[in-house]
């Protein structure tokens, strides 16, 4: 979580970012912070449907308020910490969702009269999506175990036992890995993932720490490999392969 929040802070330039994971009890536990004045938010538990983060969990989508203190869109039991102690005004909460279940929430906020812009929401979406994909990816040890199980199932002579092992392999997430025939590189996928949420070349460059010319080169490479002629078509083509 801290690494993702640091990415969010650098990508958006927001003065305050924080977040945490959803516990087995379905509470959000805030654990990571950049730019907060004190510790009043540290360790705070946010129930589903409560405050901004709880609303994002309940809705399964990003929620933004331009004036936290006055909005009627959320409950206000956290006003002492958010408004009085931290003096936050415009705030968003973006859920990290894996297979329909929220596993965490990323927040971004400002103080004063400015408001969080659409660009910050888009960048948060890209970072949340990448975070979700990492959470959904089996560990290297798990992948190795699944490959071993698949090999054992293939060698078993008893058809009934082989079918049982195949079902266990599938239940554990051992479907055949998605391949990308186009041979897209990780950086090309990164640029397409950000393009998919509407980021400009300059915004992609800032997020990935690249020059705009390098971003253009990655996009051109992706378009060539996917056999399309613009970035929108490249995003659609990459999604059709399962890469995005």
**In which band, very low, low, confident or very high, does the pLDDT at 117 lie, cut at 50, 70 and 90?**
very high
Longest dimension (CA), the chain: 71
In this prediction, residues 13-36 reach a mean pLDDT of 94
Question: In the prediction, which pLDDT does 181 show?
Answer: 46
Task: Kindly provide the b/e burial profile for residues 110-124, where b requires at least 16 CB atoms within 10 angstroms of the residue's own CB.
Answer: beeeeebeeebbbbb
What percent of the chain is predicted at pLDDT more than 90? 48
**In which band, very low, low, confident or very high, does the pLDDT at 136 lie, cut at 50, 70 and 90?**
low
CB 13, CB 114: distance < 8 Å: no
Question: In the prediction, which pLDDT does 180 show?
Answer: 45
The alpha carbon of 20 is separated from its chain's Cα centroid by a whole number of angstroms, namely: 12
For the chain, the structural domain boundaries read 2-136, 140-171, 186-241
Cα angle at 8 between 192 and 203, to 5 degrees? 45
Rounded to whole angstroms, the Cα distance separating 83 from 41 reads: 11
Question: In the prediction, which pLDDT does 131 show?
Answer: 83
CB 91, CB 30: distance < 8 Å: no
Mean pLDDT computed over every residue of the chain: 86
Rounded to whole angstroms, the Cα distance separating 12 from 117 reads: 9
Question: In the prediction, which pLDDT does 56 show?
Answer: 95
| Res 142 pLDDT > 70 | no
Rounded to whole angstroms, the Cα distance separating 47 from 112 reads: 27
In this prediction, residues 195-215 reach a mean pLDDT of 88
pLDDT tens, 176-202? 444 444 588 888 988 998 888 788 899
In this prediction, residues 64-70 reach a mean pLDDT of 96
- Give the sign of the dihedral formed by CA 225, CA 209, CA 107, CA 109: negative
- Which one has a higher pLDDT value, 196 or 21? 21
Write out the DSSP string of 21-41: EEPTTS-EEEEEEES-SSSTT
In this prediction, residues 162-185 reach a mean pLDDT of 67
Domain 2-136 fold is: Beta-Lactamase (3.30.450)
The alpha carbon of 126 is separated from its chain's Cα centroid by a whole number of angstroms, namely: 6
Query: How are the residues of the chain apportioned to helix, strand and coil, as percentages rounded to the nearest 5?
Result: 50, 15, 35
Question: In the prediction, which pLDDT does 65 show?
Answer: 96
Question: In the prediction, which pLDDT does 222 show?
Answer: 92
Task: For strands 101-109 and 91-98, give the pairing.
Answer: antiparallel
What CATH number should be reported for the domain whose range is 186-241? 1.10.10.10
Residues pairing with 59 in the sheet? none
Return all residues near 201 (Cβ < 8 A) that are at least 6 apart: 212, 215, 216, 219
């Amino acid at each position: 979580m801290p690494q993702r929040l640091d990415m969010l802070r650098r990508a958006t330039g927001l003065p305050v970012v924080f977040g945490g994971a959803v516990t087995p009890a379905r509470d959000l536990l805030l654990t990571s912070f950049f730019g907060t004045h004190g510790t009043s938010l540290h360790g705070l538990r946010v129930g589903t449907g409560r405050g901004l983060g709880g609303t994002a969990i309940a809705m399964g989508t990003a929620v933004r308020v331009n004036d936290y203190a006055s909005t009627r869109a959320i409950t206000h039991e956290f006003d002492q910490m958010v408004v009085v102690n931290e003096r936050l005004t415009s705030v968003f909460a973006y859920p990290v969702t894996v297979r329909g279940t929220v596993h965490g929430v990323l927040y971004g906020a400002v103080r004063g009269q400015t408001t969080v812009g659409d660009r910050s929401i888009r960048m948060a979406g890209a970072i949340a999506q990448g975070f979700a994909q990492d959470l959904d990816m089996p560990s290297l040890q798990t992948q190795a175990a699944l490959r071993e199980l698949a090999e054992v199932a293939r060698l078993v002579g008893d058809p009934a036992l082989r079918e049982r092992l195949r079902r266990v392999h599938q239940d554990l997430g051992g479907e055949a890995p998605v391949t990308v025939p186009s041979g897209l590189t990780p950086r090309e996928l990164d640029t397409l993932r950000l393009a998919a949420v509407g980021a400009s070349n300059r915004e992609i460059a800032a997020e990935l720490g690249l020059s705009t010319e390098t971003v253009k080169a990655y996009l051109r490479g992706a378009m060539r490999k996917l056999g399309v002629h613009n970035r929108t078509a490249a995003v659609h083509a990459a999604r059709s392969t399962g890469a995005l």
